[in-house]
Structure formats: structure tokens, C-alpha cells
Amino acid sequence: MKYIIPIILICVIVLYFFLPAQKEKDASAEIETVLNNLVSSGQRKDINVVMEYFSPDYKDSSGRNYSDVRTMIQNAFNRFDTIEGGYSNLIVSTTEDHNGDTRTLADMDIWISGTRNEEVYKLLGARNKPENFNIGFESLMLGGWKILSIEETN
């Protein structure tokens, strides 16, 4: 019984080092799935599911962290009767720095609107004029992706 925990730890370490690295093509398809799920859970105004796609380590250049993003999204859900959104022109790229650390970025155009009392409000861009963003993702060891940062590209 006392050997179970060390055996599990060794298995996890072995899996980490011997699982093949994700291919950029796979990353693109998986990130697109994440984005589609994020859009649909946002339209349902399901804060818990939306936040599952954000890393607890989230940090952007404005200094916002996971908690700040959760509060912003929850406020929008509370303020509007419905939320709609979408993205286009998705380009996913993975780069490696001189330390061997990889960074996966998704460049895309985004729009989000909210409706209150049948009046539509632009929250981010517009359907016919979206705004461009870079979203940093981290790949989870056992599969899946989490958002690390969101930066407007202007």
C-alpha cells in the first residue's frame, strides 16, 4: 500500500516525458474546439463552464488575473439578457524560445454583443467589424488547453 503513491508519481513522470509532443495541426483543431465550446457556454451564460477554459495562472498585460476575468464575465452575464459572440480568421502558431519553452498563440478576430430589453450593445467589436486579439494558450499534460492571456493587437 505504501508503494502506490510513488508508483503513480513515477507513471505520471514517465507519461510526461514520453508522450509525443502535440503537433501544431492538432493544436489548431483542439483550440478551435475550445473556442467553439467557449462561445456556446458564453451564450448559455454558464460562468462555471466558461471559466474552465481559463488557466488559474491567467495574466494579461493590463494586470488582470483569473479572478478579475471571472468578475468581468459574471458582471456581463448579470447585466444582459443574452450574450452573443463569435470569432473568425483563426491562426494558431506554436513557437519555441531559446530555453525550449513553447508558446501557443491564437490570432483571431472577435466580436461580442449583449442584449438588454431588446436593445443590442457592442461589448467587443461588432459582427461586421470584429477586433483582433492574440490569445495565449497552455497545453495541459493530460490533454486540453487553457487560456493564459488575451491581448488586443490593435
Which of 135, 146, 120 minimizes the C-alpha distance to 57? Answer: 146
Residue from 53, 49, 47 nearest 71 by CA:
47
Q: Which tens digit of pLDDT belongs to each residue from 4-36? A: 654 555 545 544 444 444 444 578 999 999 999
- 109-144 pLDDT per residue, tens: 999 999 999 999 999 999 999 999 999 999 888 788
Contact partners, residue 81, CB within 8 Å, separation at least 6: 114, 115, 116, 117
Distance CA 102, CA 25 (A): 15
Running DSSP on this structure, what letter comes out for residue 121? Answer: E
Report residue 60: phi and psi, to 5°. -115, 175
Residue type, 115: T
The full set of domains in the chain, from first to last, is: 21-152 (3.10.450.50)
Q: Write down the pTM of the prediction.
A: 0.78
